[in-house]
């Protein structure tokens, strides 16, 4: 198995939205905003070479929306999905599996592209993986999340016939996507978010999606205002942080502009940041 970081570009979001009820006077010490209170965030994806499978976890914001949509998010940086795949010697046609942690636009926007005014799968040879509960949640969205679930990113996947569902495991058992890829389910940010846990070089790499947007979000109460069930998020984070510290997991951060991978460590004052490093250093 080989793992590769795939950078798809950066975007900006309001710092207050990203840190919820935490005062700016506290969070800005760890993640500095610009003069408009916007913070810069990565859209960092993960590519897994696993035998004859080439698995892409999430795929960024895409490029098919109109200028008005993108004007809200201040896209920046020189990276793109296609450019990053090409630098690794691959193309979209080589991808066999697209694992979607959840269907918010900054995680799945690259799934579908506009070709000759028609919405088509960007990965024509891939199975697209979600789960039934989250798919229902995304295609029948609540008012709070409706703006994050864009139909153009989601419905054409089903129309293509390439959609597959991962089944959550019964209580007390484990869901697996592949022999060395376990799937953990979380419901605080959005219902049915999936985090892959990858066995790699005697370590476990966890793709954190929006359970941990950045190292600045390690304090348990630092929950995004975007989370639909913040009290559930608190419980999920507290339990998982302990597990991650005890097991020395490598946490792969999708949105942290400054840190690619981190570990957590238990201290007398609670769980804190351990190490920060590149995936290539694992």
Q: Give SS3 for 111.
A: helix
Assign 174 a pLDDT band (cuts: 50, 70, 90). confident
The answer to pTM > 0.95 is: yes
Going by C-alpha positions, the residue among 62, 45, 72, 73 that lies closest to residue 115 is: 62
Question: Which option is the CATH number for 2-204: 3.40.50.800, 3.40.50.2000, 3.60.15.10, 3.30.70.890?
Answer: 3.60.15.10
Alpha carbon 221 to its chain's center: 20
Q: Which residues contact 157 (CB under 8 A, 6 or more apart)?
A: 111, 112, 121, 128, 130, 163
Contact of 157 with 139, CB cutoff 8 Å: no
Assign 173 a pLDDT band (cuts: 50, 70, 90). confident
Digit-coded pLDDT (tens) for 181-238: 999 999 999 999 999 999 999 999 999 999 999 999 999 999 999 999 999 999 999 9
| Ramachandran area for residue 180 (φ above 0: left; ψ -120 to 50: alpha; else beta) | alpha
Digit-coded pLDDT (tens) for 40-99: 999 999 999 999 999 999 999 999 999 999 999 999 999 999 999 999 999 999 999 999
Separation between Cα atoms, residue 169 and residue 251, nearest integer Å: 22
pLDDT value for 169: 83
Assign 170 a pLDDT band (cuts: 50, 70, 90). confident
- What's the half-sphere exposure (Cβ side, CA atoms, 13 Å) at 168? 16
Alpha carbon 141 to its chain's center: 19
* Mean pLDDT in residue range 133-142: 97
pLDDT value for 10: 98
Contact of 136 with 145, CB cutoff 8 Å: no
Token digits for 117? 């005014």
Judge residue 246's burial from the number of C-beta atoms within 10 Å of its C-beta, 0-12 exposed, 13-18 middle, 19 or more buried: exposed
Average pLDDT, the chain: 97
Residue whose pair of structure tokens reads 């069930």 in the numeric block = 229
């Amino acid at each position: 198995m080989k793992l590769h970081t795939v950078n798809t570009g950066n975007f900006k979001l309001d710092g207050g939205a990203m840190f919820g009820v935490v005062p700016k006077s506290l969070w800005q010490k760890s993640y500095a905003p610009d003069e408009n209170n916007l913070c810069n965030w990565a859209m960092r994806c993960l590519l897994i070479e696993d035998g004859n499978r080439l698995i892409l976890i999430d795929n960024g914001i895409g490029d098919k929306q109109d200028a008005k949509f993108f004007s809200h998010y201040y896209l920046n940086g020189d990276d793109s999905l296609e450019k990053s795949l090409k630098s690794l010697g691959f193309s979209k046609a080589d991808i066999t599996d697209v694992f979607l942690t959840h269907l918010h636009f900054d995680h799945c926007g690259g799934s579908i592209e506009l070709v000759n005014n028609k919405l088509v799968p960007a990965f024509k040879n891939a199975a697209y993986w979600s789960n039934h509960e989250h798919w229902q949640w995304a295609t029948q969205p609540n008012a709070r999340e409706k703006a994050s679930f864009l139909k153009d990113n989601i419905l054409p996947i089903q129309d293509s016939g390439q959609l597959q569902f991962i089944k959550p495991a019964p209580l007390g058992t484990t869901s697996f996507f592949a022999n060395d890829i376990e799937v953990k389910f979380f419901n605080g940010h959005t219902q049915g978010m999936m985090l892959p846990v990858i066995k790699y070089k005697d370590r476990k790499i966890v793709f954190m999606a929006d359970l941990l947007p950045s190292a600045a979000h390690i304090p348990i109460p630092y929950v995004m205002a975007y989370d639909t069930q913040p009290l559930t998020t608190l419980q999920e984070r507290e339990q998982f942080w302990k597990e991650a510290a005890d097991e020395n997991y490598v946490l792969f951060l999708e949105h942290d502009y400054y840190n690619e991978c981190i570990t957590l460590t238990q201290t007398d004052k609670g769980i804190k940041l351990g190490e920060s490093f590149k995936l290539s250093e694992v």
